[in-house]
Chains A and B, each alone.
Chain A
Amino acid sequence: MTLRRIPISALIGLILTGVAIFVAAFAPFLAPYSPAETVGDVWEPASDQFWLGTDNLGRDLLSRMIYGARITIFIAAAATALSFCVGAVAGFAAAVAGGLTDQAMSRSVDLLMSIPSLIFALVVLSVLPSTVLILILVMAVLDFTRVYRLARAVAVDVNVMDYVEAARLRGERLTWIVFREILPNALSTLVAELGLRFIFMVLFLSSLSFLGLGVQPPESDWGGMVKENKDGIIFGIPAALIPAAAISVLAISVNLVADWILRRTSDLKGGRS
């Protein structure tokens, strides 16, 4: 796989995703002001001093965006990682175990999925405090069901392939079968799904924060920043659109990358020549 073969859309996605991660990682070095400090008037327009203008309390919007990237990406990534580990392990386990274990796990997941995630999150957050840890846990628990379903389906599919049976007949150990036979063939699908889950987490977290139930002030993620600045919209002040656009761009970038990975998988099935 050479760089030359990456399509332009995926390249754009990769670059933008990379920029977002870089900004999140080096926020303190990149931000011109402290995110909490009031440095100007309320909702100042963009200027040389404040590249993106100021927010509803006169804080520098660019600095807040940079720190917001950090919180958004951190929480979404942590929740994705957790949901993915739990979901993938449970899904593979159900597929390998089969029988009653599989039935019990799959039916519980069905039940959890029968309630829309956002609604269930609202119910739970009505009694739990919205701390970062709780948010990560709630989001991961509500989302692992989808990873579980995919992982289980992929494992069941690959498990019945003749080459896995051939490996078993050869006398291979379980570790070889899982890591050398099944995983390489399930990996692209799972990686693409990882991307999609991450997007979902970003959107989920943003929605919660926008509703005032996610990250709590004075900390603020991009969704929370939309909430802070939304009242400006009707006065023609577009400050709320900037974090909202950032969420969209991040989500689209990751989506482009995930889409490309998925296509590559189907490519391989069609042959390499």
Chain B
Amino acid sequence: MTDTLLEVRNLRIDGTVRPPGERPKDINIVEGVSLTLAPGRVMGLIGESGAGKSTVGLSTLRYGRGGLRLSGEIWLNGRNIQTISPGQLRDLRGREVTYVSQSAAASFNPSIRLMDQVIEATVLHRIMSRSEAQKRAVELFGALSLPEPESIGSRYPHQVSGGQLQRVMTAMALCPKPDLIVFDEPTTALDVTTQIDVLAAIKTAIRHTGVAALYITHDLAVVAQVSDEILVLRHGKMVEHGAVQQIIEAPREEYTRALVSAHSIPHEEQAATDNPILRLEDITASYEGKIQVLTDVTAEIHPGQTLAVVGESGSGKSTLARVVTGLLPPERGRVLFDDQPLPPALADRSLEQLRELQMIYQMADVAMNPRQTVATIIGRPLEMYFGIRGAEKRRRVIELLDQIEMGESFIDRYPAELSGGQKQRVCIARSLAAKPRMIICDEVTSALDPLVANGILKLLLNLQADEGVAYMFITHDLATVEAISDSIAVMYQGRLVRYGPKSEVLTPPFDDYTDLLLSSVPELRLGWLEGVVQNRKMESAGY
């Protein structure tokens, strides 16, 4: 096919920000983006947060969130949709182009049954009669492997799980037989084992119906599974465009190369020592004596090494950190630090014990007091633990800032004046200031863009090499685990399902859960998704 479904020429998107008490300012979001898409093709739009991916995606519906202004030409089915009337535009939306958002849970009207919402556009645009549309919806529910396709439509949004809702939203987008669907990070909010099901369902549905799609995501491995071609965006501008294979195997631009190699940090596993710095013995814990969240967890961390604690949301991995820090005294079991038992409750620990065990949080934004400067934030541990004050303190803070590759110029800034990656670096410096022997890192990279996260990981590894500090690294991201850990603990429903040195944990034979978890992590190669789905089908068929 040589004809064109969508052609965007020189798209520019501007917005206006209105800071309270100041004059409104115009800012440019996207500039000079052009793309063409043939019918039935899938294009992946990839980039960091703020790259303008969603904005470009929504422009194909001539929709600007929060009053964004579009300029340039957007040709769809042979006409420039920038010039059509509001009535024609409404006719286009929901008929020719449909949209699947990141958060299906928020995108469904809470007080209307799913079926009525799924067929709303189809019936509105008189594509089918009501009963035909309902029949089609049920077929789509089945094709997207939703449970009870006949009756799921009669439920309300809150009665359906997040992964299912995302598939219902895909059915809603497919129902009016559109020419183009915009998928806006449809699997980002899901757990990794749920993501793969939704991803497979979306891919099958796209292939069966022959609809064209724009697939927006920040995850290169995900987009490689579903797209024919990829467009890389950065700061609202195009970086590179090409076929999937070319982008992942032979990227031309430096930025694309960095994205492709983002996860490949080499890290040699170190052997366990005889004297673990931290030892957890049969930890069992619960909240208010009711809900048991940890059961019999035993693990060790060795000096200068990293234990990665991996699991999905609700697996109890963050609770484990709370037990170690003393915020949640365990019901049973004990925590040994350097062979000495730590008092279970925070209040009973000595200043020295607190100093040796530091913590870094997921959201650097809220881990720093917005009213304190970097100098106060990093300087406070120096003052508390070592009694360092005045000029000496300032000198040490500058040293620490150099260590986290930021430098003296940041010393008098407030957290709000730092970027996401810089904030996390300041938090790292704050914990380093205490000269700890172990740091708990709770999802420290998961709120960051891949390249920024990569920088943080490299910094953590360098600091480990220099200072010999041990890490307890809590994460849901298995790619990060490979990059940083020496040993791994896999958690599921509050229990340790697999534990040992990295090489052992990541080598078959696997237990069922670890297998599921590992096989669900998207890999950056073509045909990965099909392979996994095929494997699982065979397994469930009993081969």
A: residues with CB less than 8 A from B are: 5, 7, 161-163, 165-166, 168-172, 180-181, 184-185, 263, 266-273
Known: A170-B381, A271-B417, A273-B417. A162 touches B363 (CB 8 A): yes
The reply to whether B369 and A163 contact each other, CB–CB distance below 8 Å, is yes
Assuming A162-B367, A184-B371, A272-B416, what are 6 further A-B pairs, CB within 8 angstroms? A170-B381, A172-B384, A180-B369, A181-B369, A185-B369, A270-B20
Which among B355, B368, B369, B414 has the highest number of chain A CB atoms within 10 Å?
A: B369
Structural contact, B369 and A169, CB atoms closer than 8 A: no
User: Which chain B residue has the least Cβ–Cβ distance from A164?
Assistant: B369
- Is the CB–CB distance between A169 and B416 below 8 Å? no
B243 within 8 A of A: no
| B120-147 contacts to A (CB < 8 Å) | none
Contact yes or no, B366 A162, CB < 8 A: yes
Residues of B within 8 A of A (CB): 19-21, 325-327, 346, 349, 351, 354-355, 358-359, 361, 363, 366-371, 380-381, 384, 414, 416-417, 430, 434
Q: Are A169 and B367 in contact (CB under 8 A)?
A: no
A263 and B367 contact, Cβ closer than 8 Å, known pairs A166-B359, A170-B381, A272-B416: no
Contact A185 B359, CB 8 Å, known A171-B351, A171-B354 = no
User: How many Å lie between the Cα of A71 and that of B452 in the bound state?
Assistant: 62
Residue of A nearest to B367 (CB): A162
Contact B20 A267 (CB under 8 A): yes
- What is the minimal beta-carbon distance from B435 to any residue of chain A, in angstroms? 13
> Cα distance A185–B415 when bound, in Å?
14
Could you tell me the distance between the alpha carbons of A139 and B526 in the complex, rounded to whole angstroms?
A: 73
Cα-based distance from A181 to B380 in the complex (angstroms): 12
Contact B361 A162 (CB under 8 A): yes
Complex interface: chain A residues within 8 A of B358 (CB): 169
Inter-chain CA distance A273–B25, complex, in Å, is 14
> Are A163 and B368 neighbours in the complex by a CB distance under 8 Å?
yes
A161 to B366, CA, bound (A): 6
| B21 and A170 form a contact (CB under 8 A) | no
* Residue numbers in B under 8 Å from A271 (CB-CB): 416-417
Do residues A184 and B369 form an inter-chain contact, with CB atoms below 8 A?
yes
Nearest CB in chain B: distance from A55 CB, A:
43
CB pair B19 A169 closer than 8 Å: no
Given A163-B369, A169-B359, is A263 in contact with B21 using a C-beta cutoff of 8 Å?
yes
Q: Are A163's CB and B416's CB within 8 A? A: no
Cross-chain pairs A/B with CB under 8 angstroms, 18 sampled: A5-B21, A162-B367, A163-B368, A165-B327, A166-B367, A168-B327, A168-B346, A169-B326, A169-B327, A170-B384, A172-B384, A181-B369, A185-B369, A185-B371, A263-B21, A268-B416, A270-B19, A273-B417
B contact residues around A272 at 8 Å (CB): 414, 416-417
In the complex, chain A residues whose CB is within 8 Å of the CB of B355: 171
Most buried by A among B351, B381, B416, B434: B416
Residues on the A chain within 8 Å of B416, using CB: 268-273
Q: Which of A163, A180, A268 contacts B366 (CB 8 A)?
A: A163
- Measured between beta carbons, the chain B residues less than 8 angstroms from A273 are 416-417
In contact, A266 and B20 (Cβ under 8 angstroms): yes
Please indicate the chain B residues that have their CB under 8 angstroms from the CB of A180 in the complex: 369
Give A220 to B147 CA distance when docked, in angstroms.
75
Smallest CB–CB gap between A8 and chain B, Å?
A: 11
- Tell me the minimal C-beta distance from B483 to chain A in angstroms: 25
Residues of chain B with a CB closer than 8 A to A7's CB: 21
B198 CB, nearest partner CB in chain A, Å: 31
Chain B residues with Cβ under 8 A from A266's Cβ?
20
**CB neighbours of B20 from chain A (8 A):** 263, 266-267, 270
